[in-house]
Amino acid sequence: MQIDVDSLNESDRGWDVQLKVTLSLEEVSQIDQSALRDDGDFKVDPEDSSLLYFHSLLSVAEPWEDEPLEELVRAIKLEVEYRVKRLFRAKPV
């Protein structure tokens, strides 16, 4: 699994962040598709099922204190990795 920043745009509401998750063929085969459909935060690329997109808004109204933007994006990447791993079906023992 590879997670990259696809776009990062400043708006009047904060920062719009879109992450692109690239999965291997093995990982794609392990994704629980019904759980993926139920998670409204991920969008599957209709032309390439190995690509997932995750959108987040870092609102200026949130108390981010003095955290640099890079640290906030790193935290979002970790959260996305955790959430994608939860979508994997348990492998048979």
Domains in the chain: how many in total? 1
Parent domain of 47: 2-86
92 assigned to some structural domain: no
Low-confidence stretches of the chain (pLDDT < 50) are: 92-93
Q: Which amino acid makes up residue 30?
A: Q
6 assigned to some structural domain: yes
Three-class secondary structure of residue 60 per DSSP: coil
> According to the model, what pLDDT value does residue 92 have?
41
91 assigned to some structural domain: no
> According to the model, what pLDDT value does residue 56 have?
86
CA distance 84 to 23: 10
